Amino acid sequence: MQRAFVVLGVLVLSSFVAAGCGGSADSANGAVEIGFMTFGDPTGASAKMYRECERESGNAYKIVPTTMGPTVDAAREQLTRRLGAGDSSIDLINLDVIWTSEFADAGWIRDITAEIEPIKSQFWAPSLGSATRKGKIYAVPVNTNAALLYYRTDLVKTPPKTWEELVTSVKKVQQQHPEMTGFVFQGAPSESGTVDALEFLGGHGVSVLDETGKKSLIDKGDDAEQTFTFLRKLVTDGISPKVVTTFTEEETRAAFQNGSSVYMRNWPYAKGLMETDKTSKVKGKFALAPLPGFEGYQPAEILGGQNFGISNTTDNPKEAWEALKCLTSAKMQGIKAVEKGELPAIEASYDDPGLIAKIDYLPISKAAIAKGVNRPSTPYYGDVTSAIYHGYNDVLAGRATPKEAVKRMDERIQAAIDGKAEI
């Protein structure tokens, strides 16, 4: 009871102090409150960044985060509902790279082309491209990512450069270790599956949309069908387990970490976890390499990552920009890279000896990101990605032949970009 009175006294005193500072109702000690819709961060790195930026501003603003999620889809739904209602408490937004077109076309995020001009050259071109819509820039890249191929160094001497080589390698290992799974990846009907599907398709020369973004190219030629035929054989030939159709990133990591798989496709974040998790059976037994492509084609690196943007409903555009500029600086991106495993969107960071000393796979990631491409840019992305991951999952699970899946995917993608998606 005594503790309750002490807390109440502190709260009452704090209210008088705040009132005497001349701050507005939404300010703290004279600092403008910047409402930040963002993903949760159990590492504490984000909170450290907020306080550092506040100090650097002379406490001109205070960053107040609101956690979105827990999934990307749930976060998007939460944001679209609040932004659509004109919620002025939102100043900054943590944007998934696939949201730019939709949010810009809806008028929910500010055009910051003029503000970013002095600093835009420092960002990876594909990263900046993910923040761009119709020639205007609507966000600042804060991290990027390219998936890598994990392989067992105790079973494989040299990582494969093509998917065909990977299959051959797996068959050799399975001759000695028939109990082992060859290759695990993300096959679930989700955004994870879309990214993997685009890597396989792109690694066979397949494009999803034409340059105008108004025509599906999935069914052009037979490359997509050949790609899906290869993927289905991964399952039927025992190279990949049937359960891969349910895998997102964490299920994939668990399958590789338990020591039962030769290869894994995953993001770099998995490396640190598998090296520190006490249950890991592969610690010291794996390495990373760039993703393969198909024979005769260049590999496709589909970029992940996040951008920070400013809400069009903000009442504090000046302070929001200053906070945004600080949070996306090289210093802050370095903190995210080391403490959260989220790689910088600033190109020069990959040559920083200090970062390389702490993140030994940075040079491999640099080579992958340099070749990276973004997912299709369209305001109808939600329907497009649904068409992709359902067709991909149907093939892996054997519910559709490769030819049927490609035809159906092409029809659904075209309907989506025509604004006629199935409800």
What are the backbone dihedrals phi and psi of residue 137, each rounded to the nearest 5 degrees, phi first?
A: -100, 130
pLDDT at 422: 67
pLDDT at 24: 39
**pTM given for the model:** 0.85
What region does 100 belong to: left with phi over 0, alpha with psi -120 to 50, or beta? alpha
Whether the CB-CB separation of 201 and 395 falls below 8 Å is answered with no
SS3 276: helix
Q: Which domains, and CATH codes, for the chain?
A: 22-138+304-366 (3.40.190.10), 148-302+374-417 (3.40.190.10)
Whether the CB-CB separation of 209 and 376 falls below 8 Å is answered with yes
No. of H helices and E strands in the chain?
Answer: 17, 14
Task: Give the Cα separation of 372 and 302 in Å (integer).
Answer: 6
The secondary structure of 341-363 as a DSSP string is --B-SBGGGGG-HHHHHH-TTHH
Whether the CB-CB separation of 263 and 147 falls below 8 Å is answered with no
SS3 103: helix
Per-residue pLDDT of the chain (423 residues; tens, 9 = 90+): 333 333 333 333 333 233 333 333 345 568 999 999 999 998 899 999 999 999 999 999 999 999 998 888 889 999 999 999 999 999 999 999 999 999 999 999 999 999 999 999 999 999 999 999 999 999 999 999 999 999 999 999 999 999 999 999 999 999 999 999 999 999 999 999 999 999 999 999 999 999 899 999 999 999 999 999 999 999 999 999 999 999 999 999 999 999 999 999 999 989 989 998 999 999 999 999 999 999 999 999 999 999 999 999 999 999 999 999 999 999 999 999 998 889 999 999 999 999 999 999 999 999 999 989 999 989 999 999 999 999 999 999 999 999 999 999 999 999 999 988 764
